[in-house]
Amino acid sequence: MVGGLPTSRLNKRMAELGLCSRREADDWVEQGWVKVNGVVATMGQQVTAADRIEVDKIAQGFQEQRVTILLNKPIGYVSGQAEDGHTPAVALINPRTHWRDDPSRNRFSPPQLRGLAPCGRLDIDSVGLLVLTQDGRVARQIIGEDSEMEKEYLVRVVYQAPGQTTARHPGERSAPLQEIDERDPVSTNVQAVFPKELLERLRHGLSLDGEPLKPAKVDWQNPEQLRFVLTEGKKRQIRRMCELVGLKVVGLKRIRIGRVTLGHLPVGQWRYLSPNERF
C-alpha cells in the first residue's frame, strides 16, 4: 500500500491499461522507455492506480509494426508447435496463401513471422478462424486470464441419445471430423429428435473436470448444425459438452472471435487484421 492505495507491479498495471503485454512492459522498462510520474521506471517497480505512466514514442513505433493475422485454418494443421509430425498453422502464412482480396495495405515480409503466436487453440480436425499475432495486447484480449471474449462456432452433430456416447478424457483423441460450412445441404434432421431440455442443458447446467461451465448461447443453425457462442475455452469443450447430452460432433468450424468474423476468407488463406478492426 502507498498512501492508502493498493500497489501492483508496473508490468501488470501496464497490461491492465492495455498499453502492452507484461513481457513487452519489461522489455520497455529495460530500454528506459517507461516513466512513472516523470521518472524513468525500474524493473519490478510497484505502482498505484493514481500513478501516471508514460511510454516513449520509440516503443509505440515498435508496437505499430507488429501484425495480427487471421487465418481460415483447414483440417490437418495444428494451431501451435508441430506435434506428432503434423504441420503448424503458421506454415500457411506466406505470400502464396495471402488472400488477394485482403483490404489491408500491409505487405508480407519475413520479420512478420518472428514471434507470431496463435491466440487460442483450434484442433487439428477443426476448421475456421485462427488468430496469430505479434501483439501482446491482442493475445491478452483473446486468451488472457480475465478474458470473456465471445467465440462462435458452427457444429455439425448426430444424436446418439445419452448413454450411447462415451465420455472422453480431454486429452484423448476422438474420431476425425469432417469439413463443415453453413451452406452445406442438410441430410438428417437432428433438431427434430433432440430433446429441448437437453438443449437447455447445453446452454447452462453442464460441468467439465469437476467445474460448472459458464452459460453458453446454443441454438440450431439448421436441422443438423448447432451454433455455439462460448466465453471460455476448455480443451475440446464443445465435443465434451455434446457427449454429455448424447450428441456426437462430426464437424466444427469457428466463425467469430469477439467482433471479428471469418467472413469470405477462403480455407487455407489469411489476411491482416485491419487498423479499424477491433476484437
Domain positions in the chain are: 8-64, 68-147+260-272, 151-257
**Quick one: which of 49, 35, 57, 71 has its CA closest to 1?**
49
Residue type, position 182, single letter: E
Query: Using one digit for the tens of pLDDT, what is the confidence trace for 82-95?
Result: 667 789 999 999 99
In this prediction, residue 168 carries a pLDDT of 56
In this prediction, residue 1 carries a pLDDT of 61
Among 145-149, 242-246, 265-269, the range scoring the smallest mean pLDDT is 145-149
In this prediction, residue 25 carries a pLDDT of 87
CATH architecture of the domain with residue range 8-64: Roll (3.10)
pLDDT at 181 over 60: yes
Q: In this structure, what DSSP letter does residue 232 have? A: -
DSSP string, 239-259: HHHHHHTTEEEEEEEEEEETT
In this prediction, residue 19 carries a pLDDT of 83
Just give the CATH number of 151-257: 3.30.2350.10
**Quick one: which of 117, 119, 106 has its CA closest to 65?**
106
Query: Using one digit for the tens of pLDDT, what is the confidence trace for 165-175?
Result: 555 555 555 56
In this prediction, residue 61 carries a pLDDT of 73
CA 96 to chain CA centroid, Å, is 24
Going by DSSP bridges, is the β-strand pair 127-133/247-257 parallel, antiparallel, or unpaired?
parallel
Residues 49 and 5: beta-carbon distance below 8 Å = yes
Residue type, position 219, single letter: D
In this prediction, residue 127 carries a pLDDT of 96
Q: Confidence class of residue 162 from pLDDT cuts 50, 70 and 90?
A: low
Per-residue b/e over 144-176, b at no fewer than 16 CB within 10 Å?
beebebebbbbbbbebeeeeebeeeeeeeeeee
CA–CA distance, 131 with 255 (Å, rounded to integer): 11
Per-residue b/e over 84-109, b at no fewer than 16 CB within 10 Å?
eeeebbbebbeeeebbeebebeeebe
Mean pLDDT of the chain: 88
Domain 68-147+260-272 has CATH 2.60.40.10: no
In this prediction, residue 185 carries a pLDDT of 62
pLDDT average, residue stretch 226-246? 94
Going by DSSP bridges, is the β-strand pair 211-212/8-9 parallel, antiparallel, or unpaired?
unpaired
pLDDT average, residue stretch 7-30? 86
In this prediction, residue 163 carries a pLDDT of 56
pLDDT at 244 over 80: yes
pLDDT at 176 over 70: no
In this prediction, residue 82 carries a pLDDT of 65
264 class by beta-carbon count within 10 Å (0-12 exposed, 13-18 middle, 19+ buried): exposed
Entry pTM: 0.77
Query: Using one digit for the tens of pLDDT, what is the confidence trace for 59-82?
Result: 877 777 789 999 999 999 999 876
CA–CA distance, 214 with 230 (Å, rounded to integer): 8
Query: Using one digit for the tens of pLDDT, what is the confidence trace for 194-219?
Result: 999 999 999 999 999 999 999 999 99
**Quick one: which of 97, 217, 95 has its CA closest to 152?**
217
In this prediction, residue 145 carries a pLDDT of 78
CA–CA distance, 91 with 60 (Å, rounded to integer): 28
